[in-house]
Structure 1
């Protein structure tokens, strides 16, 4: 039995190790690996829809071969070594619940899910890196976004106690598995919850905390705020040995946002949005974890891409300077992708990128993905649709649909573009893989090997410099 002194734990506003020394967790998330998001690897819509289309095209044997290779190559010991070389000490592992359970079956845990997580945990531990296990999706969807992989525009998880019970049971089994692993810093039970009533999330957090503690009394829980980890106004109490988590993206880091040029007004905006999110933690004197943040970057074929990316590096540096004042924990989004945000990204000359270039160009042209969306070429199509909705729906009831801050624009895009268009175009994406041999499928998956990827040196230098200051 592992001693309690082996685990990280909460002590006031700090996280400390067994010797009582403060540890500041700084790292990244392996998004796109055990939870595949559309902008990260290039498919449209939702992972389960993409996988279904790929199965139809490849058949079971080809499907299994490609995805087994992809999961093997995406994160290895070499990736962990690279992160350690930057001074990062923690990796957040986003997980799709379907690796552990099938929605259409009675509750049973799949051992294959543990094997996938074990590989990441063990690779990181070998390099002295902690891991945080993050459940990124739930049956029915814990939020209204594409990354909950529900295929819906409603978070049915909060409307169905059976779905909530499945989430509890899943986490109990995960906690049993890792209860003695000191390199697991803790559990992030739910990514970006969005409960329209706010109270059901608090009830579920109390349930999950009790259930996990019964089998694992020592690991830290990292609890996200409501409404995509941005709202703590309904939180009434602090649960024991818990760190509270914000996500702190800035619109100035995205194509549709105002460019960051470092004005006093812009810096005040960054400070104000951060302070609003952490007010609960300050009042209750508990640790703060920024579980996600980071700009998207312009690709080399975009006009003024060097200037744009330098502005976004400057934005990131300013955010880190704010976090440094409070010595908070952070995990940047994200480690590896096809070129939007990753610390490393697939080579444009790789087999995967060459194969999918026509489709990726199309996705960009029509602004299909919500993350990093640029509507330059389709604004004339969508603006009249949005205006029509506004004309016909009285202003007093437009904000009835939660999340309220999305506005009519984002709610329409979620239903029509992120769901309907994306679901249908999933089949076009899968068609590019038709007829591929095992050798070709291996080369496509190997495009995500670290040795075949490019490194975003400007970003990595900023993260390395910040990690060295406090660790």
Structure 2
């Protein structure tokens, strides 16, 4: 069993353990850019149920989850020297909204399978509640279907999440494969104080049934803001977590060129996010980070761009090494080709089916995370509308809405593109599945099996080299 000792995470023998791994996003908490649909997971599942029927839809999703992570994946993961898998999950696997008092055994069956596989390969697991009732943040990955974090406005939603954590902690108490619990991914509480109160409540409830496992607590505003946290009131046996994405690793105007000014900014950004941990004297966990990668099939400059993205990743890892004792979890392990260490073969049955929809979705700029070039749709459709809307509202109010770092344009984009338009397009995608037999659905789901996927070799090599940097010299060979 791992535990916190000052600024370190240690094992039973008292040796420091630096957790290095990846997030298993897209599996027990699906995301649109990871598996290709549009909008929110519960809408995607509902749309496929409408066209396939309940039995076939459940069959397809069950088989997809089966293939998404197997012993072969764990073997690859461990072969790179990675020792921790962050497992995001959606509350819907455990609770039905119309009968939330019942915790479903099927949710534990899904988690247990992953935990049992990881135990065979000496991989620790961090359990990450990625989507809660009402949504803990304003984005698609909290699966609320809204652009508002209702979790903070209804005490019942908060109580339900604690109820779920008590059940999970009771189930895994004493299990040494579990590194700890990540109670809330990327919370975004506009008042800041409700998050602190909820953390205190969930910690007390978990400790009542499981006094031993560590907690991993994300900062507010998407794990980047610790301004409301008190360095003198840290919770016991708790690791505090930031997320350290760099916009230089995305399809935006500024790309990473390795200048000293860019390196200085990278370090300053990270140091700002972990200042709380430094002052409080607690361990640091970077729960998410990593660039995205261009597709050479559609981008003639992909190789040159990706070389810059890999260099950015290496610089970030160097910063974490130089800071000493920073645990991390890159985002992410497997997807359809945008960011994963492993990704689906473009010639697979699933990608053949999905590609026309994905290309349309990208042209319409529906996925915030995976739409590289929105210039055409912006110029023709959105900017004229947004310009008119801005004229109706005093300029002093354009960034009053939380999170205040988001522009007025971004707020409009969230509502129109990522909610409204994505829901309409989700019904269009579902039609591509109409009439599929179980054999065809099995083939589609089987596209996610590791042996049918491709590996992002340079990314995996970079991660492996970083893990070897911490091994004794006798083991590096």
TM norm structure 2 = 0.96
For residue 418 of structure 2, what is the aligned residue in structure 1? 418
Of the three residues 305, 308, 311, the one matched with 2:305 is 308
Q: Distance in 2 between matches of 1:22 and 1:286?
A: 14
For residue 395 of structure 2, what is the aligned residue in structure 1? 395
1:378 alignment partner, SS class? helix
For residue 378 of structure 2, what is the aligned residue in structure 1? 379
Q: Does structure 1 retain, via aligned residues, the 8 Å contact 2:244–2:286? A: yes
Residue 61 (structure 1) aligned with residue 55 (structure 2):
yes
Deviation track 1:364-405 (CA, whole Å, cap 9, x = no partner) reads: 112110103221331212222232232221122222210111
For residue 290 of structure 1, what is the aligned residue in structure 2? 286
**Structure 1 unaligned residues grouped into runs of 5+:** 1-6
For residue 117 of structure 2, what is the aligned residue in structure 1? 123
Which segment drifts farther, 398-407 or 455-464? 398-407
**What's the C-alpha RMSD, in Å, of the aligned pairs?**
0.9
Of the three residues 327, 331, 334, the one matched with 2:332 is 334
2:406 alignment partner, SS class? helix
2:375 alignment partner, SS class? coil
Residues 259-274 of structure 1: matches in 2 within 5 Å?
259-274=255-270
Which segment drifts farther, 304-313 or 260-269? 260-269
Q: Does structure 2 retain, via aligned residues, the 8 Å contact 1:256–1:373? A: no
Which segment drifts farther, 389-398 or 428-437? 389-398
Deviation track 1:125-156 (CA, whole Å, cap 9, x = no partner) reads: 10000000000000000000010000111111
Q: Distance in 1 between matches of 2:264 and 2:370?
A: 23
For residue 221 of structure 1, what is the aligned residue in structure 2? 215
Deviation at 1:356? 1.3
Q: Distance in 2 between matches of 1:410 and 1:156?
A: 19
Deviation at 1:56? 0.4
Deviation at 1:176? 0.4
Q: Distance in 2 between matches of 1:85 and 1:257?
A: 36
Which segment drifts farther, 342-351 or 261-270? 261-270
Q: Does structure 2 retain, via aligned residues, the 8 Å contact 1:251–1:257? A: no
Deviation at 1:257? 4.3
Q: Does structure 2 retain, via aligned residues, the 8 Å contact 1:44–1:368? A: yes
For residue 9 of structure 2, what is the aligned residue in structure 1? 15
2:127 alignment partner, SS class? strand
Q: Does structure 1 retain, via aligned residues, the 8 Å contact 2:82–2:123? A: yes
Q: Distance in 1 between matches of 2:384 and 2:119?
A: 53
Deviation track 1:236-266 (CA, whole Å, cap 9, x = no partner) reads: 1210000000000011111124111011111
For residue 142 of structure 1, what is the aligned residue in structure 2? 136
For residue 107 of structure 1, what is the aligned residue in structure 2? 101
Structure 1 residues 165, 257: CA separation in 2 closer, same or farther (over 3 Å shift)? farther
How many residues in Structure 1 have an aligned counterpart in Structure 2? 465
2:22 alignment partner, SS class? strand
Q: Does structure 1 retain, via aligned residues, the 8 Å contact 2:100–2:160? A: no
Q: Runs of 4 or more off by more than 3 Å in structure 1?
A: none
For residue 367 of structure 1, what is the aligned residue in structure 2? 365
2:125 alignment partner, SS class? strand
Q: Distance in 1 between matches of 2:105 and 2:365?
A: 38
Q: Distance in 2 between matches of 1:372 and 1:126?
A: 34
**Structure 2 unaligned residues grouped into runs of 5+:** 472-477
1:93 alignment partner, SS class? strand
Q: Does structure 1 retain, via aligned residues, the 8 Å contact 2:85–2:123? A: yes
Q: Distance in 2 between matches of 1:316 and 1:385?
A: 37
Q: Distance in 2 between matches of 1:149 and 1:50?
A: 10
Q: Distance in 2 between matches of 1:449 and 1:208?
A: 36
For residue 229 of structure 2, what is the aligned residue in structure 1? 235
Deviation track 1:390-430 (CA, whole Å, cap 9, x = no partner) reads: 22211222222101111112100000000000011101111
Q: Does structure 1 retain, via aligned residues, the 8 Å contact 2:267–2:319? A: yes
1:330 alignment partner, SS class? strand
Q: Does structure 2 retain, via aligned residues, the 8 Å contact 1:255–1:372? A: no
Residue 322 (structure 1) aligned with residue 316 (structure 2):
no
Q: Distance in 2 between matches of 1:269 and 1:343?
A: 26
